[in-house]
Structure 1
């Protein structure tokens, strides 16, 4: 789902991400959650870092478009990191 511009910056994505982490760690008993995000998506990176994700790896040229090549970051958060952060950020 893509939010229109009138709904951006209101914390909707952050709330959804926090709930995904809660479900992953509490209900599914995951030990680590990872994601990939294109380097140009600065608002998403800021959101992910805001809840505790850390950049682990930079992968160059993962996709090609007429406008150029896209690179991405792999980011992750462990259950123990989330348990510390959830009371601070969430």
Structure 2
């Protein structure tokens, strides 16, 4: 199945809210860190993105992942925290919301498309992300695309089941991305 990325509209926050709220607080934290309180609401998202989205002034671009056959929104991800002095940014809030599309390569395709945007349209030299050590499927996806593990911060979150989660900072440099031929 083919996918495409399109800029998300704030009016579509409700779709993401529904995906997140189908799970629990731990799922919300895995998706957004400690930014929001469960259950997620559109009001929380609008407050967080007070400067809006999809502009240089907002410092965040949120993309919806679209199934090209059905034109259905099946996920979303963002690129944000642009650092002009180091020419880098951070990928985050990555979700394949429709469960039937998970573990099918859609996430890899979506991230490849976002990397292309970051390295070509935004002319970044490095793209970073944060991932909890418990999210092994995501870590494998990121490593397949060339991301390297950087700093590990241990025990940053205690799950509702009492498990400690640590955070990996991962990064991908443009020259590695180009040499790995990750261009979609």
Task: Say yes or no: TM over 0.5.
Answer: yes
Structure 2 gap ranges (5+)? 1-94
Q: State the secondary structure of the residue aligned to 2:124.
A: coil
Question: Equivalents in 2 of 1:68, 1:77: separation in Å?
Answer: 29
If the length of structure 2 is used for normalisation, what is the TM-score? 0.45
If the length of structure 1 is used for normalisation, what is the TM-score? 0.87
Equivalent positions of 1:6-17 (< 5 A) are 6-17=100-111
Q: Tell whether the 8 Å contact from 1:56 to 1:75 is kept in structure 2 after alignment.
A: yes
Structure 1 gap ranges (5+)? none
How many aligned residue pairs are there? 88
1:74 aligns with 2:169: yes
Segments of 4+ moved more than 3 angstroms: none
Question: Equivalents in 1 of 2:173, 2:138: separation in Å?
Answer: 19
1:18 aligns with 2:112: yes
Q: State the secondary structure of the residue aligned to 2:146.
A: coil
Query: Which structure has the highest helix share of the two?
Result: 1
Could you say what the CA RMSD is over the residues aligned between the two structures, in angstroms?
A: 1.7
